[in-house]
Chains A and B, each alone.
Chain A
Amino acid sequence: AQTVTQSQPEMSVQEAETVTLSCTYDTSESDYYLFWYKQPPSRQMILVIRQEAYKQQNATENRFSVNFQKAAKSFSLKISDSQLGDAAMYFCAYTGTASKLTFGTGTRLQVTL
């Protein structure tokens, strides 16, 4: 079974600084996708970024980028120029051949002035 591990329950970053959230996963599949979701206090799950495993190039969405290390099964999220609105729970997620997302336990990100 696939597992997703987020080893940082909480992280803190100052406004305008950069922070990296860690995620590792375990799978025997060769084709899969990885995601980062954001859950603000409003509870809504919002897709931040996605990465196809067959692509070597790291995905980027504005201030959000990933460092995808396939051999190490590592998928970290970098948030640049952090803003107050980035404060939220961040979930790493995996999907392989089964059409379902397996989530990590989440990292709570605080953004301070």
Chain B
Amino acid sequence: DTAVSQTPKYLVTQMGNDKSIKCEQNLGHDTMYWYKQDSKKFLKIMFSYNNKELIINETVPNRFSPKSPDKAHLNLHINSLELGDSAVYFCASSQGWVGIGELFFGEGSRLTVL
């Protein structure tokens, strides 16, 4: 059983399109995250939700809209895709504060914008 699963694993799309990435965790964790890994492998947090409430929003363009329908799911919708959005997007989860509870990552979703 995959602990943190993301779909799709790969996305190829044209500039200007809208796309979504879904994430589900079966660990019973109360906190979920989206991280972006750019072409130089730099990882940076985008959003964090705790029990469906947004707690971290790291100056991400408002074309990116996270949604957490329940604490086991965190989806990422991206409007009007741009070339610079090409990256690997990682979903992750933890139980409480990430210092105490280990952060579990999904396998990542590679988004390519043409």
Which residues from chain A sit less than 8 Å from chain B, CB to CB? 32-33, 39, 42-45, 47, 50, 52, 89, 91, 95-96, 98-103, 105-106
Q: Which residues of B contact A (CB under 8 A)?
A: 31, 33, 40-45, 48, 50, 55-56, 58, 88, 90, 92, 94, 96-99, 102-103, 105, 107-108, 110
Majority SS at the chain A contact face: loop
Which residue of chain B has its CB nearest to the CB of A105?
Answer: B42
The total of interchain contacts (Cβ-Cβ below 8 angstroms) comes to: 56
A100 contacts B43, C-beta separation under 8 Å: no
Distance of A96 Cα from B90 Cα, bound (Å): 21
Q: Are B107 and A99 in contact (CB under 8 A)?
A: no
CB <8 Å contact, A33 and B43: no
Would you call A100 and B105 a contact (CB within 8 A)?
Answer: no
Distance in angstroms from B101 CB to nearest chain A CB is 9
B103 surroundings in chain A (CB, below 8 A): 47, 101
For the complex, what is the distance from the CA of A96 to the CA of B56, rounded to whole Å?
14
Asked if B42 and A99 make an inter-chain contact with CB atoms under 8 angstroms apart, the answer reads no
Please determine whether A43 and B88 come into contact, CB atoms closer than 8 angstroms. Answer: yes
